[in-house]
Amino acid sequence: MCARKSHNAMAPNHIWSSSMHMAQNVADRKDNFVKTWRPPAGQFSSQWRQNNMWSMSTMQSDLQQRLAYEFDRPSGSEKLLPGRTFIHAHEKKFDDMHDKPTTPAGMNHIIRDRYANGHTQHSSLDPTYAYTLYHREGPNQSLHDHSHQHHGENDHLSARKGKQFYSHSVIDNDFQAQLRNGRPRMDAKARSQLLPRYWPRITDQELQHLSGDSNSVITPLFEKMLSASDAGRIGRLVLPKKCAEAYFPAISQAEGLPLKVQDATGKEWVFQFRFWPNNNSRMYVLEGVTPCIQSMQLQAGDTVTFSRIDPEGKLVMGFRKATNLSAEQDQPTKPANVVPPPPEANSKVSAADSGPSAAVPRPIKVNTEIKISSPVEQATASKIDKGALAQKEGPGTSSSSPGPVKRKATSVGPKIKRFRMDNEESMELKITWEEAQELLRPPPKAPSIVIVDGHEFEEYEEPPILGRRTYFVTDQSGENHQWAQCEDCSKWRKLPVDALLPSKWTCADNKWDPERSSCDSAQEINTEELTEMIPIKPGAAKKSKGTDNIDVSDGLDTLANLAILGEGESLPSQPTTRHPRHRPGCSCIVCIQPPSGKGPKHKQTCTCNVCMTVRRRFRTLMMRREKRQQSEKDVGASRRKEVGQSSEPVPQAGSDAPPTNTTSSPPKTDTNSEGPDDMAVDNKRTSSPIKNQIDLNSQPEREDEHSPKSDATRLRDNPT
């Protein structure tokens, strides 16, 4: 359907794939290929929203990766060769082979550039080649980023002198490592099983620091975001099993063996590399990492990277601070992912921190996406630089780092999760993948038609762009059109279905309806009518005006409201959305609340998001409870009537109290007494120090599950 070329060129590739994959029979995957890539027919075929591709959950990781690329893709130098309008079957094959794991963005850049350089054969697609290869021609000469040099491969090889950086495993190098280590490295298949979140994303600057001045070659092995327990005082760093088995020495005894690891400063640490038996498997840990972690001032959420220095075969440990995110976004040109100057850092490292060119004698790649680990985050980054979406990276810059891999939320401790959510930038990560899809538009340049295996494909030379959200509507006459909201006046305008809007769109851009090409023109229909047709809330986009062109509030509000109303209750005029797994950035009632008994107490006057949500939820719960109790009373009364008529005493169902008490006892006025449900509600409402206010530190969603009696008791015990 779209953007075939660039996707094929840059689609997720596996780090460890070998060229043998290329030899796989294309026909084996032909059917799937065709189904996936065939341009769908129909009136929306030009829209960048084909569900058969963009909504398939099985494609998600791939798509996320693609999205990440689409978002950060620079233009200009990274375009594919204009003249190249065909797709090698084996290239597509490769893409298919590796569309599950995601590709670090930096790798994408390299791969793209290799395309641009005419390396279109297997080597250009083979990540083992395609990753970064840097060389320094002399002490004061520039390091040449392969991705920006339009030289041939031979030029590079011949020019390689002095220090070399291999940002990913080079086959020969890996083979040598096998020989040195005396045990086979992970085979290609096993490598392909390595989860993308462990793929190393190391900038060239990090590599420089790790390498020091030696003539060494660095092979990044894997990385891991520190969990709370990793960074805690236990001193145990849980290692991803496959990484441990692939890159660390084989151990047969649980006690393991001591492992020397060098940090970025050259200091050597000795950890105990061992495992625990676990569910017929092993759980690998590095013990004794606390001093090292502390010396690096790492905490949960930060990332440690493991690399190998060859030819010594040393393990070297780097790190990346998670807290660089905000600073990085504030200063997008500052190189991120730079190893902070350790205590004994030399001037080189310090200089590196001061600017991209201070310590690096070449136009080093400035990676502003290094912290962006998910497509959503990528989207956020793009949002920050909304005006220059397509030109975010100027000439001479690119991302050497990879990137966008969706991190497992549980790899970050709860506190870190909340910290990340509190982070202003992270709070902007409020766009789901499905929402992002709706914002993608084909690039303006018309696609060329290519034929692959007898099937026609639209091939775009440029990536999709972020467009303004529109809503497609079929009116009563069967006519299709779409509605878009003006950036300036927030009026909704009806547009033809094939209209492609830029992310910033105003009435003045309404070339399809000259009568309504001005913000002064009235809206064609009133908002109420519009709301009936499309799932928008009046003024929703206005809310986001000034902060972002992407209107992402709908889905979020849906989630929040669903959380408030409880599962199974949908909202009128809003799409029914099941709550996804809780992830960093999730704004649901569960995620935004501090854990029980932890965190600062909220005052009754607090108007924070948590408190406001709790209040709303409390009110809803109370209303529901009162309704339920009222209905139960009614049922009970009617039953008693029936019982009275039949003169048979029947215990009241669902009540602990004797049946006679409910009607015969006078209303209790003692708020401390344990009364019926409605009294418990009253108790709850009045137990607060401030009249008619609720306990913002209580957890109504749990209270809802408890008996009213316990509610009253707990509120009495903890009136704050």
Partner DNA sequence: GCTTCGCATGGAA
Partner DNA sequence: GTTCCATGCGAAG
The only residue of 81, 238, 421, 533 in contact with DNA, by rule CB under 7 A: 238
**408 scored as a contact of DNA (CB under 7 A):** yes
User: Which of 150, 276, 673, 706 touches DNA (CB under 7 A)?
Assistant: 276
Is residue 227 part of the contact set for DNA (CB under 7 A)?
yes
We find the least distance from the C-beta atom of residue 576 to DNA, in angstroms, to be: 21
The pair of structure tokens assigned to 621 is: 């719960």
Give the Cα separation of 512 and 528 in Å (integer): 23
The CA-atom distances, in angstroms, between 270 and each of 231, 263, 267, 291, 535 are 17, 11, 10, 10, 59
Q: Which backbone phi and psi does 428 adopt, to 5 degrees?
A: -85, -5
The stretch near DNA (CB under 7 A) out of 152-160, 301-309, 402-410, 649-657 is 402-410
Q: Which region, judged by CB under 7 A, interacts with DNA, from 233-241, 257-265, 469-477, 535-543?
A: 233-241
> Shortest approach of DNA to residue 240 CB, angstroms?
3
Stretch that binds DNA, among 208-216, 239-247, 317-325, 598-606 (CB under 7 A): 239-247
Instruction: Decide: 366 and 335 in contact? Cβ < 8 Å.
Output: yes
What is the C-alpha R_g of the chain? 30
CA distance 314 to 276: 25
Q: Is 596 in the site for DNA (CB under 7 A)?
A: no
Strands 314-320 and 257-263: parallel
Nearer to DNA by Cβ, of 34 and 251: the residue is 251
Q: What angle do CA 198, 334, 146 make, to 5 degrees?
A: 65
* One residue of 32, 51, 215, 278 binding DNA per CB under 7 A: 278
Residue 698 to residue 432: CA distance in whole angstroms: 30
Considering only residues 297-356, where is the footprint of DNA by CB under 7 A? Answer: 300
81 forms part of the interface with DNA (CB under 7 A): no
Contact status, residue 584 vs residue 539, Cβ threshold 8 Å: no
DSSP for 205-256 reads HHHHHHHTTSS-EEEEEEEEE--HHHHSTT-EEEEPHHHHHHHS----STT-
- The answer to whether 108 and 10 have CB atoms below 8 angstroms apart is yes
DSSP 253-275: STT-EEEEEEETTS-EEEEEEEE
Can you give the length of the chain in residues?
Answer: 720
Contacting residue, 98, 236, 365, 625, with DNA by CB under 7 A? 236
Member of 581, 597, 645, 651 binding DNA (CB under 7 A): 581
CB closer to DNA, 237 vs 390: 237
Cβ distance 65 to 380 under 8 Å? Answer: no
From residue 157 to residue 196, what is the string marking binding to DNA with x (rule CB under 7 A)?
A: --------------------------------------x-
Neighbours of 358 (CB within 10 A): 15
Is 128:170 a contact under the CB 8 Å cutoff?
A: yes
Q: Which amino acid is located at 521 in the chain?
A: S
Kindly write out the interface string for residues 190-209 of this chain, putting x where it contacts DNA by CB under 7 A and - elsewhere. Answer: -----x--x-----------
- Determine if 233 is a binding residue for DNA (CB under 7 A): yes
Q: Which residue among 88, 151, 242, 616 contacts DNA (CB under 7 A)?
A: 242
Structure tokens at 553: 């509030």
Contact 60, 433 (CB under 8 A): yes
Task: Pick the stretch among 176-184, 224-232, 316-324, 362-370 that binds DNA (CB under 7 A).
Answer: 224-232
Q: Beta strands of 406-538 (E only): which ranges?
A: 440-441, 448-452, 455-459, 465-466, 470-474, 480-485, 492-496
Of 356, 413, 464, 675, the one binding DNA (CB under 7 A) is 413
Residue 594 in contact with DNA, rule: CB under 7 A: no
Is residue 287 a contact point for DNA (CB under 7 A)? yes
Q: How many helices (H) and strands (E) does the chain have?
A: 29, 17
**Beta partners for residue 261, in sequence order:** 269, 315
Min separation Cβ 388 and DNA, Å: 32
Q: Does 251 bind DNA (CB under 7 A)?
A: no
| Residue whose CB is less far from DNA, 238 or 497 | 238
CB of 372 to DNA, least distance (A): 18
Sheet holding 143-145, edge to edge: 143-145, 133-136, 164-166
Show the site string, 644-683: x = touches DNA by CB under 7 A, - = not. ----------------------------------------
Part of the chain binding DNA (CB under 7 A), chosen from 153-161, 377-385, 405-413, 630-638: 405-413
Region binding DNA by CB under 7 A among candidate stretches 21-29, 208-216, 228-236, 621-629: 228-236
Three-class SS of residue 136?
A: strand
Q: How far is the CB of 567 from DNA (least distance, A)?
A: 15
Q: Which residue number, 245 or 353, has a Cβ lying nearer to DNA? A: 245
DSSP 557: H
Of 100, 14, 102, 93, nearest to 58 by C-alpha is 100
Which member of 27, 157, 179, 234 binds DNA (CB under 7 A)?
Answer: 234
3-state secondary structure 594-638: CCCCCCCCCCCCCCCHHHHHHHHHHHHHHHHHHHHHHHHHHHHHH
Nearest distance in Å: CB 238, DNA: 3
Residue 272 or residue 518: which is nearer to DNA going by CB?
272
189 by Cβ neighbours in 10 Å (0-12 / 13-18 / 19+) ranks as exposed
- Whether residue 695 contacts residue 718, with contact meaning beta carbons closer than 8 Å, is answered with yes
Binding DNA (rule: CB under 7 A), the pick from 59, 409, 565, 571 is 409
Q: Is residue 100 a contact point for DNA (CB under 7 A)?
A: no
**Residue (254 or 623) nearer to DNA, CB:** 254
Q: Could you tell me how many residues of this chain bind DNA (CB under 7 A)?
A: 35
Chain centre to alpha carbon of residue 356: 27
In 337-394, beta strands by DSSP E = none
Please say whether the beta carbons of 444 and 466 come within 8 A: no
- Determine, following the binding rule CB under 7 A, whether residue 257 of this chain makes contact with DNA: no
Q: Which residue's CB is nearer to DNA, number 126 or number 377?
A: 377
Nearer to DNA, 364 or 592 (CB): 592
Q: Is 555 in the site for DNA (CB under 7 A)?
A: no
Kindly tell me which of 297 and 410 has the beta carbon lying closer to DNA: 410
277 touches DNA (CB under 7 A) = yes
Stretch in the footprint of DNA (CB under 7 A) among 77-85, 176-184, 411-419, 652-660: 411-419
- Measured in degrees and rounded to the nearest 5, phi and psi for residue 636 equal -60, -40
Binding DNA (rule: CB under 7 A), the pick from 224, 320, 491, 684 is: 224
Among 62, 72, 145, 230, binds DNA (CB under 7 A): 230
Span from 280-288, 474-482, 611-619, 666-674 in contact with DNA (CB under 7 A): 280-288
In whole angstroms, what separates CA 660 from the centre of its chain? 59
Query: Is residue 526 at the binding interface for DNA, with CB under 7 A as the rule?
Result: no
Q: Which is nearer to DNA, 79 or 415 (CB)?
A: 415
Preceding omega of 311 cis (within 30 degrees of 0): yes
Query: Bridge-partner residues for 165, per DSSP?
Result: 134
Which of 543, 582, 641, 668 binds DNA (CB under 7 A)? It is 582
Element (H, E) at 545: none
Q: Which two tokens stand for residue 155?
A: 């030029």
User: Interface with DNA includes 281 (CB under 7 A)?
Assistant: yes
For residue 280, state whether it binds DNA (rule: CB under 7 A).
yes
Q: By C-beta, is 234 or 451 nearer to DNA?
A: 234
* 235 is a contact residue toward DNA (CB under 7 A): yes
Residues in the site for DNA, rule: CB under 7 A?
A: 195, 198, 224, 227-230, 233-236, 238, 240-242, 254-255, 276-281, 283, 287, 300, 408-411, 413-414, 581-583
